[in-house]
Structure formats: C-alpha cells, structure tokens
Amino acid sequence: MSDTQARPTLISCGGVHDPADTAVFERLPGRLVTLTTRLAPSPDDPRLGLSVRRFLPTKGRRMVGAWCFVDHFGPGDVSSTEGMLLAPHPHIGLQTVTWLLEGEVLHLDSIGSRQPIRPGQLNLMTAGNGISHAEESPQPRPARLHGLQLWVALPDRSRAEPAAFEHHEELPVLPLPGLSAVVLMGTLAGVTSPATTHTPLVGAVVDVQAGAGFDGYTAWLPLQRLFEYAVLVIEGEVSLDGQALDDSELVYLGHGRVGVELTSGPGAQFLLLGGEPFREEILMWWNFIGRSHGEIVSARALWNAHAPRFGAVVGARSSRLPAPPMPSGALRSRGRR
C-alpha cells in the first residue's frame, strides 16, 4: 500500500504525549482514499471498483501500540477494473502487513520476492533501511477483492536492519467460547503468530459466532492490561461492552482492560489491534517513517534519484511512483493524537 495523496502531510506520532492511560471508548470514523496509482481516480471513481477506507492515521489518533496505518479495501468487484495496481514505491522504518478476505494480490519487491497472497495468508514486509515494492491484482484474477493493509512502526533499534519479506500460510487460531481468533502478529491470550515482530503487540482477526453472548453465556475476549487496543469491524455487527459497532469506524479502547464482552449477530468478524504504547517519537511522511525531517528529505531524494538504497522491483505492470513534493510548513503538533 502507498499513501496516494498528491501532497502528503508530515505527521509526528508516538512518544509519551497523551496516551490514554485508562479504558476509553473512542469512535474514529474512516475516510475514503484512492488505491490505484495509474488512474489516479477520485475515491468514488467507478473504474476503481473498490472503496478503500483509511482509519489510521486519523485526526483523532495516530497510533495504537506500534500500529500506525490501517486501510480496509473492498469488498468489491474488480473484474472489469484495474483492481489493485500499486506501482513500485519505497518504504523505510516500518513493516507492511497484508491480510485478504477475498481475492488475490501479487506482491513484488526489490529483494526478489514474488508472492501471491490469498485469503487466510499473511504477507509481512519489513522495510528496515529501505525496500521498494509493488502490489497488483494478478491477471487473470478472482472477481472479488477484500482485504486489509496495516503498517507497524519499527523501533529505533531495528530500523537499520536489512529489508525482509515473510509469507505465512498457516497462522495459529485461538478458540474461545463463541469466538475464534486468527493471530496474525504478536500474541493473544498465549497464542503467538510466527510472524516477526519488533515490539510487544497483537494483530488478530476475530470471528464471532452467530448469537455469541446470548443464550446465557458471555463471549469474552481476553486482553492484557499493559496494551492499548483498537477494534475495526470487517463484516457484520458486533456489540462490545454493550455498544454497537460497524465497519465505518475504528474504536479505540485505551489501556488497562483485562478483556471485553462481545455480542454478535450472524457472521461478524473484526480486527483487533493492540500493543504497548510506542514511546519513541516518529515522523511519518508519504511511505516513510523516520526520526528527523532531514532523514525523510534524504530518503525522498534518494528514491527520486533511483539510488540503490531502494533497489528495483522487477516485473511490475506499472512504472515507479515518484515521491510527491514535501510540505514547506512546520510539523503538525506532536504527540499521539
């Protein structure tokens, strides 16, 4: 995934400012963004065939643990459109986490990975000091596309490591009364994903059985007190601690919870994100996460100069995406919100 704004803003996030230190319930609405980079349509352009909603970063909150970017794309029919067509673009200082619910996407990167991803599988790309990649709907392809892309900020001690790519076809499932959770990243209730993480966190997709929490029992999702959490409904409707949620908003839950009580209609599914608050202050701009303005300026210049730091993506269907201009103004206010 790439930030496709023509003039992305520089956002300061992380650090010790303003983390919720108690349990809260904040509704953070998503917004429509563009996905394909060749057509550059408006978000509701019918050629795209796919809506993309971005939930992080938002004005209300920049991070949840080390999670700093959340896109939910589809569900939609991409049979008569370009589908996903993200031209080669660079990343530094983060991991990209891709999870599909329907369809197929081909990942190509500058360290030689060429990996289709299908529903139930995880693609994890660790950018480290620099990588470039493309994400494309393959040809031919299933008509439907539906998925999530998430970014995880790397801590300072890991971010200079070489770029890496992992594909996981088998992920552990945590069975609970009324629920089952596929653990994509990190640990949930003692069940740990094989995917490489660099800070204490969790990412899980939770299926809620029809009628969970009714009929005299409680569907309870265990959490850990030291993590902050957020929940994003993928499908259906879920009530959490008695409050109804749908797929239009990310709900930030804050800290200090040992669990949440759930009830559900038929076939609901949601994403759980959590982690220890990310104490380092970071700067996000376009597809880069750094620690200083100068570092971002340098990464941008090197990408646009075709420097070897970002390698080359072989076999992509579209030519590389140039970095947009940087804003001349000052940073947005610091802090987690």
Candidate segments 1-9, 17-25, 155-163, 205-213, binder of Mn ion by CB under 5 A: 1-9
- Rounded Cα–Cα distance for residues 181 and 246 (Å): 18
Least distance between Mn ion and beta carbon 321 (Å):
9
Strand 281-285 relative to strand 11-14, pairing: antiparallel
Least distance between Mn ion and beta carbon 89 (Å):
6
Alpha-carbon distances, residue 311 vs 88, 115, 212, 288 (angstroms) = 10, 17, 49, 15
Q: Is 1 in the site for Mn ion (CB under 5 A)?
A: yes
Q: How many CA atoms lie within 13 A of 44 on its CB side?
A: 1
Residues 6+ apart with CB under 8 A from 78: 49, 50, 84, 103, 137, 141, 143, 144, 145
Phi/psi of residue 302, nearest 5 degrees: -65, -40
- Rounded Cα–Cα distance for residues 224 and 267 (Å): 26
Q: Which is nearer to Mn ion, 4 or 81 (CB)?
A: 4
Least distance between Mn ion and beta carbon 218 (Å):
40
- Rounded Cα–Cα distance for residues 95 and 196 (Å): 10
Q: Which is nearer to Mn ion, 1 or 63 (CB)?
A: 1
Q: Which is nearer to Mn ion, 134 or 272 (CB)?
A: 134
By CB under 5 A, the count of residues binding Mn ion is 2
Least distance between Mn ion and beta carbon 138 (Å):
17
**CA dihedral for 119, 122, 128, 129, sign (positive or negative):** negative
Strand 144-153 relative to strand 238-240, pairing: unpaired
Strand 288-290 relative to strand 131-136, pairing: unpaired
Q: Which is nearer to Mn ion, 110 or 224 (CB)?
A: 110
Q: Is 212 in the site for Mn ion (CB under 5 A)?
A: no
The length of the chain in residues reads 337
Least distance between Mn ion and beta carbon 135 (Å):
7
Q: Which is nearer to Mn ion, 1 or 250 (CB)?
A: 1
Residues 6+ apart with CB under 8 A from 47: 39, 41, 81, 82
Q: Is 321 in the site for Mn ion (CB under 5 A)?
A: no
Among candidates 131, 189, 204, 139, which has minimal Cα distance to 163?
A: 131
Least distance between Mn ion and beta carbon 306 (Å):
18
What residues between 2 and 21 interact with Mn ion by CB under 5 A?
2
Q: Which is nearer to Mn ion, 1 or 253 (CB)?
A: 1
Least distance between Mn ion and beta carbon 221 (Å):
30
Least distance between Mn ion and beta carbon 215 (Å):
44
Q: Which is nearer to Mn ion, 240 or 313 (CB)?
A: 313
Q: Which is nearer to Mn ion, 2 or 224 (CB)?
A: 2
| Residues of this chain that bind Mn ion (CB under 5 A) | 1-2
